[in-house]
Amino acid sequence: MTTNPLLDFSDLPQFAAIQPSHVAEAVDTLIAQAKTALDTVTKADFPADWKKLSSTLDVQTEKLSRAWGAVGHLNAVADTPELRAAYNEKLAAVSEFYTALGSDERLFAKYKAIDSAALNAEQKKAHSNALRSFKLGGAELQGAAKERFAAIQTRLSELSQKFSENTLDSTEAFAYFAAEEELDGLPDDVKSTAKQLAEKDGKGGYKLTLKMPCYLPVMQYAKSSALREKLYMAHNTRASELFEGGKFDNTPIMREILALRQEESKLLGYTNFAQVSLVPKMANSPEEVVSFLRDLGKRAKPFAQKDVQEMREFAAKELGLSDPQAWDWPFIGEKLKEAKYSFSEQEVKQYFTAPKVLAGLFNIIQTLFEVDIQRDQAPVWNPKVEFYALMRGGQKIAQFYLDTPARDGKRGGAWMNDVHSRWLRPDTNQLQIPVAHLICNFADGVDGKPALLTHDDVITLFHEFGHGLHHMLTQVSERDVSGISGVEWDAVELPSQFMENFCWEWDVLKHMTAHVDTGAPLPRELFDKMLAAKNFQSGLQTIRQIEFALFDMLMHMEPDSTKAEPLEISRAVHKEVGVLPRPAQVRTPNSFGHVFSGGYAAGYYSYKWAELLSADAYAAFEEAATQSGQAAAAQIEVGRKYRKEVLEVGGSRSAAESFAAFRGRAPQLDALLRHSGMA
């Protein structure tokens, strides 16, 4: 009899061996075992003891989360029709189990009976979080209300998955086979990849897609406005009634999601879902968030309007575009940047070969956080996936998978996810080290050359590693507040955005660049131009993020779900804060996965909120460099304090306490405005 790899917890997931046929058996088995454990700990004679509860119940639920996590991960990075069907078949069962677990009044009573005075600091925080989660999970509901709450959670998980599938499927459904004359201005590596894709499909010409490594260069560099329009309209109508005859339309899914979230909030005693979302976050109320966003928007809008005026004048004078359309702005912006700073992203890209960038990133991590990064071995889901270990003092303290190339069947974007957390396991009393997934979507190498990254790609890589370090460098041994677990959602981006700052340091970049043809490092002159251009159109970029965040929050603050019409709210917010005209056909909400399928509902503001924290945190490094005659040593000392007060403590205390312990005060807005060129 073949052993089911999803039921093997002796080591890392057996990704290479997992088949769709394994999913149902594993999920059924693990849910049954977890239910047995739940029945055991909720018996009247079972002691209300933290460790005994954990060793009986948490050990079983962790197995289920690890197995289901492996299936969900493969669904995101190696999607096939068979795997998708297997995943969807068990999605409801898993959702129903966790909903029932989080609202089980017997278990809630057992947790309330635990003597918190007998717990250590980590356990107290985990216990407090658990009680809060029970309340948000419907544990205090009774009868029909409880049943309805459970049904809502199951349906929401199904709808979120379908939203994600429609977005992916519509992205992959589009292909335009362009003739060579249409590609004037497009970088050679992008053209080479497009030609290979066309040949793979047995067709002539160049295959253009909506995946970011193709879409963005077309919008920035293709001289043909007609070509840019074709891709722009396809990209901005994805998963809507205007794309492929509505085959992948997410509109009814969004409406149902919003209605169910609103119903959930009322069952829990709140006016709207935004209030529910903010209970475990740093921000105190939706009104506080809206005020923060609108205040920042007022500061940024004059800069954004200046950016647009500059582009209009340049387009009319230099490009012959007197009436730019929505699909022209990225092209105009890139040409203006080239003219203003005498360099192009494509010129910079030649110096950022993926192996050299990774080596440079690893060097920073090893120096600043006092670890060694070594290649390691593990089963993987694709030959391009790499696996590493973090070492300190000869001991393995964490591991991570790194999957960077874009490919068919892989969800777009970039993210960090956990395989499992650091945990002093109560069943074995052995320390389990944290393991992370670090996922990006970069263009792969062509013609035997290494992959070339844009500077934005480099920033993305550093960003995701910031999340990974938060997960992997924790010294907390209580699973539910270890690493990123238990950290307030609006503070979770602090370590990721903090790492982005290193991408603008000369002492960093000069060691992580090598021209793809000559091997020469990035010239200082070119870096100085990049630095001068760093805040190019920062007003526009800030307004763009505020527009997303304000749309998300206002949509979830609406107490009447019938009035929470995503497209209309999106248009109203754009009218309030936007500065660039937008075609009526644009359907941005329909592919806004962060909010409808990615966990950021009434929480997208956290990017700007955490950016305030990260800018102020990084200012400590800047201050150390300027105030000390030994800048490198001073920064290492600051890095050690940041590691100990922010990364290592994870979610074991509030983010506000961790920030104050590191910085010696509450966060201030000054550094964010200065870093953004809007001081």
Q: Which residues belong to the active site?
A: 464
Half-sphere exposure of residue 27, counting CA atoms within 13 Å on the CB side? 23
- Indicate if the alpha-carbon torsion angle 364, 370, 376, 378 is positive or negative: negative
Number of other residues whose CB lies within 10 A of the CB of residue 267? 16
Locate 43 and state its tokens: 């018996």
How would you write 179-242 as a 3-class SS string? CHHHHCCCCHHHHHHHHHHHHHCCCCCEEECCCHHHHHHHHHHCCCHHHHHHHHHHHCCCCCCC
b/e code 616-625 from CB counts within 10 Å (16+ = b): bbbbbbbebb
Locate 613 and state its tokens: 């924290």
Render 56-112 in DSSP notation, one character per residue: IIIHHHHHHHHHHHHHHHHHHHS--HHHHHHHHHHHHHHHHHHHHHHT-HHHHHHHH
From CA 564, how far away is CA 572, in angstroms rounded? Answer: 12
**Strands ordered across the beta sheet of 415-420:** 372-375, 386-392, 395-405, 435-442, 415-420
Residues 6+ positions from 578 with CB-CB distance below 8 Å: 543, 547
Burial class (CB in 10 A: 0-12, 13-18, 19+), 444: middle
Locate 402 and state its tokens: 């790194």
From CA 13, how far away is CA 140, in angstroms rounded? Answer: 36
Q: 409 in the Ramachandran plot: left (φ > 0), alpha (ψ -120 to 50) or beta?
A: left
**Main-chain phi, psi angles of 565, to 5 degrees:** -85, 110
- What 53-58 contacts at long range (C-beta under 8 Å, 24+ apart), as own/partner pairs, is 53/110, 53/111, 53/114, 54/426, 55/426, 55/427, 57/107, 58/426, 58/479
From CA 675, how far away is CA 615, in angstroms rounded? Answer: 7
The DSSP 8-state label assigned to residue 116 in this structure reads: G
From CA 178, how far away is CA 226, in angstroms rounded? Answer: 11
From CA 672, how far away is CA 679, in angstroms rounded? Answer: 8
DSSP H or E segment with residue 295: helix 286-314
How far CA 496 is from CA of 56, 145, 369, 501, 543, in Å, comes to: 35, 39, 15, 10, 21
The DSSP 8-state label assigned to residue 433 in this structure reads: P
From CA 496, how far away is CA 461, in angstroms rounded? Answer: 10
From CA 450, how far away is CA 452, in angstroms rounded? Answer: 6
Locate 445 and state its tokens: 């190498």
Contact in structure between 214 and 253 (CB atoms under 8 Å): no
From CA 215, how far away is CA 385, in angstroms rounded? Answer: 24
- How is the chain split among helix, strand and coil, in percent rounded to 5? 60, 5, 30
From CA 370, how far away is CA 171, in angstroms rounded? Answer: 41
From CA 495, how far away is CA 498, in angstroms rounded? Answer: 5
